[in-house]
Structure 1
Amino acid sequence: MNAKRIAFAVAALVGLLVTAVGVVAVLALTGALDTATTSHPVQRSSLGVARPSNDLLALLDQPGPVELETVASADWAVERSGLINLKHPTAKSSGLVDGDEPIQVFFHALRHPTKGLYIVDTGIEVALRDAPEKSAIQGIVASALHLEKLKAHQPLGEWLAKQPGPLAGVFLTHLHLDHVTGMADVPANTPVYTGPGEAAAASPLNLLVKPNTDRALAGKAPISEWAYTHENQGLFEGAVDVFGDGSVWALWVPGHTPGSTAYLVRSTKGPVLLTGDASHTRWGWEHDVEPGTFTQDAPRGVGSFKKLRDFAAAHPNVDVRLGHQH
């Protein structure tokens, strides 16, 4: 085949690929393809009681019963523009530009004296370190995430193997891959909890991502969505008293994703706020600059970010632990 024919063949192939991508995008936008975050079954949570978020204030300064441990499962680096709104005037005046931002992938262990061991988010799975070809995250998605930049410290499976008791459940801040990356290490049939609308949240990108999310969730109990009651004038858009004793609160902070959830834990060392990705970075939090392009609904995300910062400012005794940085 001469050079001209090769050029025509390549051009034809590129044309077909562009057409195929365009068709997929149109089908996704028109609903002809399922672009939900996951096909894992979903149910309304029977755990927890919806209460006005202001109710937690009466308990905030009382000693809590929960032992809390935060584990940095891995170090990583991702685009700063996704984590911090670089178009914000403060970011511009500070000279922030895009590039790799060092982050951590966390899970948080909650030991309740009568309810048992729960975790918030999942760190990374053992296979992601030891046998990446067998991990839940595979193929083009693994390449796009630049997992070669990830340095494992404490995979969830290794940590769980050292615990004296079973894992009672998983509280997720949201369903993005970097928060369910350790889910494959969670024992089968373990209950999993998220905010409302997480599983059904649609995006054309999910056509690629969903198989990875489904693999991570395979074998687990149906996703239980927190049964928030929407608040117009509360501290947050909704709140659930998880165990009914005021020790752990799920707080609805939508924007990054529809069901994004922060957790307020009354620990034995004082109250701790786990923001999830409503705020990723220390710089963003300290400079009042909301997250960037990784957030699905930016205006709503700003609202949730402001509510979290207002709450923390009003209660300086609360230890704030951000989504991806100490």
Structure 2
Amino acid sequence: MFIRANFSVLFILFVCGLSCQVTSHKVTPYVSNSSTETIPLSPKPKVEVEFQVVKVADWEASLAGLLDLDDPKAKAAGLKDRLEPISIYFYLIKHPKYGSFMIDSGMGENFPNGKDGRLVSSIVESQMHFDKLKVYETTNTYLKKNKIDLKGVFFTHLHLDHTLGSYEMDRSIPFYVGPGEVTSKYFINIFVQGSTNRLLGENPNLIQFDFGKSPNEIVVLDFFADQSFYILSVPGHTPGSLAFYIRSKEGGHLILGDSCHTRWGWKEGVTPGAFTTDRKLNRKSLDFLKGLAETHKPKFVYPGHQERISSSEK
């Protein structure tokens, strides 16, 4: 058993050339030359969208993954690794002209099983504390109950906890990801690629943004070209991590993705820890998001895995 297991690992390493993409699914580029470096200050957008946040599940994760515990602020607060309460969310945007879109995919009705068996490998499952997962809402049930005709899904990134509802979605729906999210290669993907493939489902309509700039640059795209929905390319947590600034009738909403997982991390300006691919880039992206919040003063800020933060909070 030991020899066979190690042979399998060596074979995978050989095939992948010591690194892999996060998914082997085909990806189509979405090329845009209309991106900018910031969101313009505007007293009133041309269009305001409807916005809703849906809490899918409660969970727990390692604090050392969620926060950089070596940061001086974390040390001063006496933070140590432990299991930290987190939640899973998806977000809905209803545009008056272009229809309804989601950010992240929520949870599949039959997770962790799909029609062809287990969706997540035993190696991955052993690290994810599924026994701590308490599900409140599944994506397909929510969409059917509310009669939502989904036009697309934007992924903050392709870590498994953000793709758990993808495999049950209509295969024609576009799945949008950030620059380099699929095409970048990392060693860790050797262990997660199969699970990511299964969670994204059979032949997903996977589309990767290409802003024609360095993948390490922060870029802003006014997706609908009407100042209602801005896609923010904020690399660091993953190569193609995305955040979003949304202008709704109630005010602005800043969705951080996993550029910042926790309320404490946002308030103190501390980056994620072991779960992040490139901490220096994540630092740059988090600083950009903090600056954006200062200038645009959104009504709410949404960390990746904890409750939203009101502009009235200190």
TM-score by length of 2: 0.89
| Pairwise CA RMSD | 2.6
Task: Tell me which of 51, 66, 69 is aligned to 2:35.
Answer: 51
Q: CA deviation at 1:60?
A: 6.2
Q: Judge conservation of contact 2:29–2:207 (CA < 8 Å) in 1.
A: yes
User: Mind listing any 5+ residue stretches in structure 2 that lack a counterpart?
Assistant: 308-314
Look up the match of 1:7: none
Look up the match of 2:23: 38
Q: Judge conservation of contact 1:196–1:225 (CA < 8 Å) in 2.
A: yes
Look up the match of 1:178: 161
Query: Partners of 2:167 and 2:221 in 1: how far apart?
Result: 27
SS in 1 for 2:25: coil
Q: CA deviation at 1:133?
A: 8.7
Q: For residues 248-287 of structure 1, what are the alpha-carbon distances to aligned partners after superposition, in whole Å with 9 as ceiling and x for unaligned? A: 1111100001110101111111111111000100011111
Look up the match of 1:27: 14
* Structure-to-structure mapping, 1:70-149, within 5 angstroms: 70-128=53-111, 134=117, 136-149=119-132
Q: For residues 192-215 of structure 1, what are the alpha-carbon distances to aligned partners after superposition, in whole Å with 9 as ceiling and x for unaligned? A: 101111112323332221111111
SS in 2 for 1:200: coil
Q: CA deviation at 1:216?
A: 1.7
Query: Partners of 2:116 and 2:176 in 1: how far apart?
Result: 28
Residues 129 and 140 (structure 1 numbering): CA distance in 2 closer, same or farther, change over 3 Å?
A: closer
State yes or no: 1:164 paired with 2:151: no
Q: Judge conservation of contact 2:45–2:228 (CA < 8 Å) in 1.
A: no
Q: For residues 167-221 of structure 1, what are the alpha-carbon distances to aligned partners after superposition, in whole Å with 9 as ceiling and x for unaligned? A: 1000011111011111123212111101111112323332221111111222354
State yes or no: 1:237 paired with 2:202: no
User: Mind listing any 5+ residue stretches in structure 1 that lack a counterpart?
Assistant: 1-12
TM-score by length of 1: 0.86
Query: Partners of 2:144 and 2:105 in 1: how far apart?
Result: 14
Q: Judge conservation of contact 2:89–2:305 (CA < 8 Å) in 1.
A: yes
Structure 1 letter corresponding to 2:159: H
Residues 130 and 35 (structure 1 numbering): CA distance in 2 closer, same or farther, change over 3 Å?
A: closer
Q: For residues 114-140 of structure 1, what are the alpha-carbon distances to aligned partners after superposition, in whole Å with 9 as ceiling and x for unaligned? A: 111100001111112788994533433
Look up the match of 2:248: 267
Query: Partners of 2:29 and 2:249 in 1: how far apart?
Result: 30
State yes or no: 1:195 paired with 2:178: yes
Please identify, of 241-250 and 90-99, the stretch whose mean Cα deviation from structure 2 is larger: 241-250
Residues 225 and 96 (structure 1 numbering): CA distance in 2 closer, same or farther, change over 3 Å?
A: same
Q: Judge conservation of contact 1:255–1:299 (CA < 8 Å) in 2.
A: yes
State yes or no: 1:301 paired with 2:282: yes
Query: Partners of 1:240 and 1:118 in 2: how far apart?
Result: 16
Percent of pairs with identical residues: 33
Query: Partners of 1:146 and 1:324 in 2: how far apart?
Result: 15
Look up the match of 1:227: 210
Q: CA deviation at 1:17?
A: 6.4
SS in 2 for 1:258: coil
Please identify, of 246-255 and 59-68, the stretch whose mean Cα deviation from structure 2 is larger: 59-68
State yes or no: 1:285 paired with 2:266: yes
Q: Judge conservation of contact 1:132–1:138 (CA < 8 Å) in 2.
A: no
* Structure-to-structure mapping, 1:2-13, within 5 angstroms: none
SS in 2 for 1:57: coil
Q: For residues 90-111 of structure 1, what are the alpha-carbon distances to aligned partners after superposition, in whole Å with 9 as ceiling and x for unaligned? A: 1011010001011011100111
Which structure has greater strand proportion? 2
Q: Judge conservation of contact 2:222–2:231 (CA < 8 Å) in 1.
A: yes
Q: CA deviation at 1:63?
A: 7.5
Structure with greater Cα Rg: 1
Q: Judge conservation of contact 1:49–1:244 (CA < 8 Å) in 2.
A: no
Query: Partners of 1:39 and 1:19 in 2: how far apart?
Result: 23
Please identify, of 138-147 and 91-100, the stretch whose mean Cα deviation from structure 2 is larger: 138-147
Q: CA deviation at 1:141?
A: 1.8
Look up the match of 1:255: 236
